[in-house]
Structure 1
Amino acid sequence: MSSFSNLQPKKVLFIATRQIGDVLVTTPLITKARELWPDAQFHFLGYRGKLDMLYGNPDIAKIIETSDRPGFGEYLSLFNTLFQRYDLAIVTQPSDRAYIYGLVAAFRRVGVLGGHPQGKEVEDKSKRSKSEKQNAWKKFICMHTVDVDYFNQHVITEKLRLLEVFFRNPADLFNKPNSVTPPVGEPLTPVITNALTQPYVVIHPGPLTAYKRWPLAHWQHLITWIVSRGFQVVLSASPAKQDVQLNHDIISLLGDSTASKVINTAGKLSIPQAGTLLRSAALYIGVDTSITHLGAACNTPTITLFGATPPTNFGPWPNGFIGEQPYQLRARSQTVGNVTILQGPGECVPCRKAGCLDHADSNSECLDLLEPAQVITAIEQAIKST
């Protein structure tokens, strides 16, 4: 580990050049950095359209957006904006581009290193040697780095450990509650507000990739049961074509009386509006996706269905948790705080592959075999404890 640093930066740049969920999980890091440096100015660099999770965040003075595939002119403009403007860059993803931005922007850097996950995943010596060579220059330009561990280290812990070098006792990062900061809410449209006439459950069935999907028939069974218990169901989804279609397909399987109690908000909510919806929900149910993390961050009772992804790495963080690891790697059902994680059967779970065929369009047998009855049991327990 790097030796303790007394650095007191006046300007800090956080860099998260990935998806909206990856942005949200940096917020405990930002909060902890604010405790360290109460007078510093914090800026955040990320991809255009992926930064709504920071809406209204009180610690971020400026958001800098870039496209995920910038042309030469945009690179020049961005480099001019960043060039040596910061005392410290905190690189929260292991990509080469994120590190280059950090190198351009700041005099000092800390960063996450990827390419050689530990734990259950085994790599041969040649692959490990290659990844170590790829990371060598990143280590060289950083005062402190943290290795990714996809099976044993939670992503929130990974981000927080970027500040280890600034604590005389790094354990102090985890001996107080850490929480995810959701975006400030925005009002719902009158159409949605007027449709909400009784207690409701928010369901987000659409993940970014197909191998994280739960079967349509399971959603049909579950929604029918929820409506029979006196709840409305609000189906959320991104504006992406496949997510809108998924919601349509689920509703098409429902009986008329059940469908009349379902509100389809696919593509109709901003991220801040989704936060508003979640804060007043009786319950949230979703797959392994960013909105599930938002549900947990809004302190809503959250049930999430996990397949290939290790919950020890990317399970939604239970707000106020004290410690480094909330979850077990493998448990059919585990509840910590307001979050319940359900996993399907199989000795291979979680494999961290892209489904059984290891590609984005694959199915995941562990999710196919995760029965609605298991989810219903979790719902009954969650409602009983609220």
Structure 2
Amino acid sequence: MRILVIRRGAIGDVIITLPTLGILREYHPDAYIEVIGNREYWEIANKRYYVDAISAGEIKLTQELYSKDGKLSKEITDYFSSFDLILAYINDPERIIKENLKRIGAKQILIYLPFPKGDDLHAADYTALILREIGLDVNPPLFPKVHLSSEDLDFASKFLSPFMKYEPLVAIHPRTYGIKGWSIEKFINIGKWIENTLGGKSIWVIGPAEEENLKLIKSNFPTSAFLHLNYLPKVAAVLNLSHLYLGCDTGISHLAAAVGVPIITLFGPTNPHVWGPRGKKVLIIKADKMYKIQEDEVMQIILKYNLSQDIEEYKILTELGLETREGSEL
């Protein structure tokens, strides 16, 4: 059986789609599964249980596919008609794409809106429910899981070998911009507390959005590890060997939850019941505005949960009154 999944988007969108691919793989263990999406992000699933190949959307999703009665090339026609099942997370309100795919011989087509619209269903569960239309069992809650290769784990072991004498090893993704970001000063204060008070070591996860603070972080943590988002499987493997992860409402937080590391995630206005990282050891601190979450409260929570060893189920903390605290934004 040949299955095509069309799922473009960011890291978090890839992670919440993994349970769907897991169900497909469970029912069709020998199937060839290809994904059209961002190769940089989908590498986390490529040749790692879920996906056999990745194709670029710019090449396969041609303009003619979006045009009513569009004339598709033989190459594109042969490509899409070769699949037994096409599952596409796209907006197709006039059913133009679906009709074009049917017209060129695609065998079974499922078109689904990319994201849930309500506040009562987690995105990972929503993404998988479309499979019920073809008779597959979907039993929420669903938890994304990343499968790492031996090469991924070997890289992580070598990367962390100079730091294994420290405990805890805490991976920190210091997102600071926008309504989902937290103050860089607060991240730095927690990093210093981890190293000076707990005797641990911080691992700083740096993507393009964090580059502006890289010099400041390095000046405060000259001997810490810095993990750049160049290749997601390697990032995931390092997170997997960490003792704890701290971050905000980002795709990397979803990735950390999916590898199984205990995580503490800070959430502002986004609804964590829909968009929170899904994992067996996830603790979400929720406030209506990010600046209301103070670093001393995060430290207390880390200690309360014994450096996350007692985080054994999905929790969203709101009992601290963070939603209603008054204060000025930093």
Query: 1:93 Cα shift?
Result: 4.2
Alignment of 1:105-254 (within 5 A): 106-113=106-113, 148-167=116-135, 172-174=137-139, 178-185=142-149, 186=152, 187-188=154-155, 192-196=159-163, 197-199=165-167, 200-206=169-175, 210-228=178-196, 229-238=198-207, 240=208, 242-252=209-219, 254=220
Query: 1:157 Cα shift?
Result: 0.7
> What is the alpha-carbon distance in structure 1 between the residues aligned to residue 305 and residue 47 of structure 2?
30
One-letter amino acid of the structure 2 residue matched with residue 174 of structure 1? N
Match of 2:244 among 269, 280, 283: 283
Alignment of 1:23-42 (within 5 A): 23-42=14-33
Q: Which secondary structure state, in structure 2, belongs to the residue aligned with residue 205 of structure 1?
A: coil
CA spacing shift, 1:89–1:103, aligned 2, 3 Å: farther
> Which residue in the other structure is 1:264 paired with?
226
One-letter amino acid of the structure 1 residue matched with residue 116 of structure 2? V
Query: 1:67 Cα shift?
Result: 3.7
Q: Which runs of 5+ in 2 are unaligned?
A: 66-71, 310-330
CA spacing shift, 1:183–1:64, aligned 2, 3 Å: farther
Q: Does 1:89 align with 2:86?
A: yes
Q: Deviations over 1:6-59 (max 9, x none)?
A: xxxx32211101112211211100111223334433221112423222133223
> What is the alpha-carbon distance in structure 2 between the residues aligned to residue 83 and residue 262 of structure 1?
48
Match of 1:317 among 253, 278, 282: 278
Q: Which secondary structure state, in structure 2, belongs to the residue aligned with residue 53 of structure 1?
A: coil
One-letter amino acid of the structure 2 residue matched with residue 278 of structure 1? L
> What is the alpha-carbon distance in structure 2 between the residues aligned to residue 305 and residue 342 of structure 1?
5
Query: 1:150 Cα shift?
Result: 4.3
Taking structure 2 as the reference length, what is the TM-score of the superposition?
Answer: 0.77
> What is the alpha-carbon distance in structure 2 between the residues aligned to residue 76 and residue 225 of structure 1?
60
> What is the alpha-carbon distance in structure 2 between the residues aligned to residue 98 and residue 224 of structure 1?
55
> What is the alpha-carbon distance in structure 1 between the residues aligned to residue 264 and residue 83 of structure 2?
40
Q: Which runs of 5+ in 1 are unaligned?
A: 1-9, 115-146, 319-336, 350-365
RMSD, aligned α-carbons: 3.3
> What is the alpha-carbon distance in structure 2 between the residues aligned to residue 98 and residue 64 of structure 1?
23
> What is the alpha-carbon distance in structure 1 between the residues aligned to residue 178 and residue 59 of structure 2?
22
> Which residue in the other structure is 1:377 paired with?
300
One-letter amino acid of the structure 1 residue matched with residue 145 of structure 2? T
Q: Deviations over 1:129-173 (max 9, x none)?
A: xxxxxxxxxxxxxxxxxx723422101111110111233xx8x52
Match of 1:368 among 285, 291, 297: 291
**2:189·2:295 contact (CA, 8 Å) conserved in 1?**
yes
Query: 1:297 Cα shift?
Result: 0.9
**1:285·1:302 contact (CA, 8 Å) conserved in 2?**
yes
**2:46·2:53 contact (CA, 8 Å) conserved in 1?**
no
Taking structure 1 as the reference length, what is the TM-score of the superposition?
Answer: 0.67
Query: 1:84 Cα shift?
Result: 1.4
**2:156·2:238 contact (CA, 8 Å) conserved in 1?**
no
> Which residue in the other structure is 1:128 paired with?
none
